[in-house]
Amino acid sequence: MAQQVMLKGTVTDASTGEVLPGVNLMIDGSNLGAASQIGGDYFIYLKPGKYVIIAQFVGYKTDKKSVTITSGETPVLNFALEQDVLGLEGVAVIGSRR
């Protein structure tokens, strides 16, 4: 059985450099993934192979990166997400009183 390797990285805002907690990081074509922590860091354990990692966060453009996981290494894959100003069309809050 192949040993799992830890893929790690940090997710930041591309324009400000601030860390982004709560970003969803998914392995394309699977149900594996993680969310970035309070400091923007994330880690996912994977078997050696080639993967596409997708980073998604509300208000930011989705980013995809390829990575090759090799046994005996700790690969680092950082994301710098760009804000998606046009993707936010607005939210309507409607309430009623009984």
CATH number at residue 30: 2.60.40.1120
| Closest residue by Cα to residue 35 from 20, 46, 25, 49 | 25
Domain that holds residue 67: 5-87
Is 36 within the bounds of a domain? yes
Is 18 within the bounds of a domain? yes
- Phi and psi at 87, nearest 5°, equal -75, -15
Q: What is the pLDDT of residues 15-53, one digit of tens each?
A: 999 999 999 999 999 999 999 999 999 999 999 999 999
pTM above 0.75, yes or no: yes
Higher pLDDT: 17 or 88? It is 17
HEC string for 29-68: CCCCEEECCCCCEEEEEECCEEEEEEEECCCECCEEEEEE
Is 10's pLDDT higher than 60? Answer: yes
Is 76's pLDDT higher than 60? Answer: yes
Q: Residue 69, Cβ neighbours under 10 Å: how many?
A: 21
Is 50 within the bounds of a domain? yes
Considering the chain, what is the average pLDDT of its residues? 90
Query: What is the predicted pLDDT for the residue at 25?
Result: 97
Q: Residue 63, Cβ neighbours under 10 Å: how many?
A: 18
